Structure 1
C-alpha cells in the first residue's frame, strides 16, 4: 500500500483500519459512476448565458459540480439583473433529463470496482444530489442499470438538506443498518467530500492529483477507480474475518 494511504488511514475513521471492518461503500453518481457532468455543464452554461451571465459549459461544470438546482438558481441570479422565471428549475431539470439520453458513458473501471465489492460480499449504495429520474436515465444510457437496485439508490432531492450536508450519506448508512464510521464514500466533488466528512465516513476522492482539494484529515486521494479498487482490496485483506 502507498505510503500516503497508510498515513491517511491513521487519521481516518475505522472502516479502513486493520482492526476495523468495512461494511458499506457509498458511491456518488456523476463523475464517479458515469461521465455526465460535461452534459449538465453545457445545459447550465447555456441557461446562464441566456439570462446574461457569460460563462462556458466547462466553467458551469466547475462551478456547479455536486450542487442542487435550487442553489444554482440563486447563484445565477447573483450574476444577472433580473430574477429567473418562476418555473426555471423545472424547465432546466427537464432539459438536463433530456440531455441524459445522449453522450453519457460509464467511468473507466466502474464495473471492476462493483464486481470486486460483490466478490468480497461488501454491499454498496448510491448517494447523489441528482434526482432518481436522472440517475435511472444515466445508468440506462451508460448500460449500468443491472448493477443497481432501486431501493439502494438515494437522491438528495428527497432529503430536506442535500449535500453538502451529511444527511444523504447518513440515511444510506441507516438504511443498510451500519454505523457511519464503517462506511467508505467515493466522491469527486468538494460538496460531496464535505458531506462525507461531516457524516464521519472515510472518503475516497476521485480527482487528478494535480488539482487542488480541501485538506481533510484521513482523505484518500486517487486518480482512477482502479486505484480505488486496489485500495479497498488492500483494506479488506488486512481486516480480520474478511476473506476473498
Structure 2
C-alpha cells in the first residue's frame, strides 16, 4: 500500500499555503488560496515556476531559495499538522498486514519532520520522496520506486491519493488507486 503525504495522510493544506504565501511575500507576490489549492499536486518549485510563467514575474531570489524559505516556514508549524482520521484508520488496520510506504512529491526533510509528530510515525516500511527520483508526479517514478523498495510488483500495489497528478502517476505506474478526496474533502476534484 502506497500513501501520498500532503492532503492524503495529513491535512497540511493550510500549513503549506501559509508557508508558500510567506515565502513569496518578499517578492511582492500575493498568493491566492484558490490558485494554490488548484495546484496541490505540484512540487513547491514547480508551483513557483508555474506562477512565474502565468504572471510573467521577475523574482529577486532563485526559486531554490524561495523553496528553502518556504520549507523553513513550514517546519516552524510542522507539529500543528494533523492526520486525516479516515486514513489513520486505514494505516492502523493494515499495519503488520501489508507492507506500506509513504510516496510523496514533497521533500524528505519536511515529511520526516512532520511524520515524527504523527500517531502513525512508526507504521511505514519506507519513505520515497521527490528527492529520491528524477521526475515527480504525474510521472510514475515515485510510486515505482516505493514498490521496488517494498519488494512489490506495481500491479499488486494500491495507491491512496488526493490529486489529479498523483492519480495520473499511479495509473502510469500500473497501480490501482483510491481517490481519497471524497473522504477527506481535500484537493480539486477531477
Calculate the TM-score normalised by the size of structure 2. Answer: 0.84
Is residue 2:111 matched to residue 1:135?
yes
Give the C-alpha shift of residue 49 in structure 1.
5.2
Is residue 2:133 matched to residue 1:156?
no
Is residue 2:95 matched to residue 1:118?
yes
How far apart in 2 are the matches of 1:165 and 1:81? 26
**Structure 2 residue corresponding to 1:195, chosen from 162, 169, 189:** 169
Q: Which residue of 2 aligns with 1:174?
A: 148
Q: Which residue of 1 aligns with 2:123?
A: 147
Is residue 2:37 matched to residue 1:37?
no
Give the C-alpha shift of residue 133 in structure 1.
0.5
Mark the structure with the bigger radius of gyration. 1
Deviations 1:191-244 (A, max 9, x none): 101100111111100113898644xxxxxxxxxxxxxxxxxxxxxxxxxxxxxx
How far apart in 2 are the matches of 1:33 and 1:153? 13
Is residue 2:64 matched to residue 1:89?
yes
How far apart in 2 are the matches of 1:94 and 1:55? 15
Can you give the 5+ residue segments of structure 2 that lack an aligned partner in the other structure?
A: none
Distance 1:43 1:118, change over 3 A: closer
Distance 1:124 1:46, change over 3 A: same
- Structure 1 residues 196-205 or 172-181, which shifts more? 172-181
Whether the 8 Å CA contact 1:161–1:167 is kept in 2: the answer is yes
Deviations 1:4-44 (A, max 9, x none): xxxxxxxxxxxxxxxxxxxxx00000111111121111222
Is residue 2:21 matched to residue 1:70?
no
Alignment length, in residue pairs?
186
Can you give the 5+ residue segments of structure 1 that lack an aligned partner in the other structure?
A: 1-24, 215-244
How far apart in 1 are the matches of 2:54 and 2:29? 6
